[in-house]
A = this chain, B = another copy of it.
Amino acid sequence: MSEGLRRSIATVCLSGTLDDKLTAAAAAGFEGIELFENDLVVAPWSAKEIRTRCADLGLSIDLYQPFRDFEAVPPERLRANLARAEQKFAVMADLGADTILVCSSVSGEAVDDDDLAAEQLAALAERAAAHGMRIAYEALAWGRHVSTWDHSWRIVERAGHPALGLCLDSFHVLSREVDPAGIAAITPGKVFFVQLADAPYLRMDVLQWSRHHRLFPGQGSFDLAGFVRLALAAGYDGPLSLEVFNDVFRQSDPARTAVDAMRSLIALEHRLAPVGRRLPGAPSLARHAFTEFGVDGHSGPQLREALRGLGFAHTGQHRTKPVELWEQQNCKIVLNSAVTRPQAAGTATISAFAIASEDPQRSLHRAEALLAPAHPNVRGPGETELAAIIAPDGTSVFVTRPDDGWRADFLPTGEATEPGAGLIGTDHLGLAQPFDNFDEAGLFYHSVLDLDHLADEEYAAPFGLMRSRNVANADRSVRLALTVALLRRGEWAPAVADPQHVAFTTADIVATAEAMTALGATMLPVPDNYYADLAARFALPESTVATLSRHGILYDRDTRGGELLHLYTPVFGGRVFFEIVERRGGYDRFGEANAPVRMAAQRHRRLTDQ
């Protein structure tokens, strides 16, 4: 166990043909697979050829599945089922697989008789044992008579056959209300297989929930570390195997999905310490250090004008590159006219952002251990070393020292940063994620930077349903708002595709708004109807609403009385905008309720600009 448990993945987690799946699993470092019957059936290779292919790739076949509707049936059906099983044992012998999953029956032929189920499963185990194989019996959450892990365990115990044990699937266990604590007391050696899947808590039919909405560990709401500890307490030392049915993973690039899956297991094992393999601990993060926009001759002037309006000064010019530093107190923006990452002509994009860490080197080691690709560090003589990690959407994430030593790479222009407009620092970044990589991105920031996953929000926006997943560190000095359309965008998408934004903090949003007005800032007009509705929703004093309305300030209040006052700019450079936020009374969300107002206003603004 010093090396940790074996890492395995079910072929059903990955898109493609069996060839695509095996290649992806091996490349991500998995040691074994669960082979799904459907993947075998459609494969052009014989079972023996699959065994060879897996061996060449360093993959064992840890489980063959599923075998359905076996137990507690009339005698004639039992005979047919045993004959079916013999065919599967022959396939498994060719595959070199010794464990088959038998899930609890959903058949109308099955009767509610534990003795009969135990007797028939023992008969099956006896046949399996003759082939040197074993049966892992699993309670499906929607099984006809057996739907909980403790019930499946009572049957396995009653059967008392050495070749019959349990398969514990975290989804089937944790989606039911039966306490999993008793798992720790299962007879050592009787847990034959452990399957892991996370999931969000959803109010829906459990079969549909299971078949469409599973996620990799750390992407949902289940306590999987607790679950695995229970299995370990019962003496389990087989593979930790991911079995995730997910509509998006079923159709996205399996090479990426496999890496995402492996990252989820590495992060989970870290939480199992001392049993699991350890990661470098996550250093604490101090704040957003800077945000870099890639710009060109079209988008650059738009961003410069916008920053002036927000009270920024152009304080520095990079020693060797066409890169400008713009500052206002602890808000730092870098405009880079020489980004190497491709972006649409005329568009501005957040090409990188930097987070100050108490130990940048350790942050990078942790990222590397979590399979985060590293950005090649390009620096001229005498320049600061700035290594970065590449986020799932391609953005570079620099990890800097808290002393902002990187500023030495910029020659001062002499421009004064005073008086500014009262912006203090960066509150959060808003980053729309590619559809296929949304859950991957959440896990990436959660595991690599140790950011907590705050509650998800879903809302209806003018151009479709949106989901946001917010992550932040414990003291909230670093926050990211990740967003995605609930359905992948099609051709009719008049909203800005994949918008990005930087939100700055102010201690007095009205004063800031007045200062910006004086500086000639272009802010987003907010409709009068919004304020009429606001007054009705929150019973705000008329004078407060008048002030908000005068400056186009939006408002939200949480259930504990925390308040958010915030302002938006229009979209600049085709894709980016800025937000000013004042948080009061511990408000910890991102004002998602107002996002549809912003989107409609930004669309309206773009139409009238045309």
Contacts and interface: CB of A to CB of B under 8 A. Distances in A.
B529 A251 contact: no
Interface in A1-56: 15-20, 37-38, 40-47
A302 to B, nearest CB: 22
Interface stretch (A169-177, A282-290, A595-603): A595-603
A490 B600 contact: no
Contact of A204 (B43, B205, B601, B604): B205
- Chain A interface size band reads 35 or more
Given A204-B204, A486-B247, A493-B251, A462 B536 contact: no
A528 to B, nearest CB: 6
Interface string A67-93: 000000000000000001001000100
Nearest to A255: B492
A562 interface: no
A461 to B, nearest CB: 9
Contact of A17 (B43, B491, B600): B600
B603 A489 contact: no
A465 interface: yes
Contacts of A410: none
A17 B462 contact: yes
A45 B601 CA distance: 11
Given A44-B525, A489-B251, A16 B87 contact: no
Interface string A577-610: 0000000000000000000110111011001000
A377 interface: no
Contacts of A488: 487-488, 490
A208 interface: yes
B203 A492 contact: no
Interface in A231-279: 247-248, 250-254
B527 A492 contact: no
Contact of A203 (B208, B491, B599, B600): B208
Interface of A: 15-20, 37-38, 40-47, 84, 87, 91, 203-205, 207-208, 247-248, 250-254, 435-436, 460, 462-465, 485-494, 525, 527-530, 532-533, 536, 596-597, 599-601, 603-604, 607
Given A42-B529, A42-B599, A251-B493, 13 more contacts: A16-B463, A41-B533, A42-B596, A42-B597, A47-B529, A87-B532, A204-B205, A247-B486, A248-B487, A253-B491, A253-B492, A254-B492, A435-B490
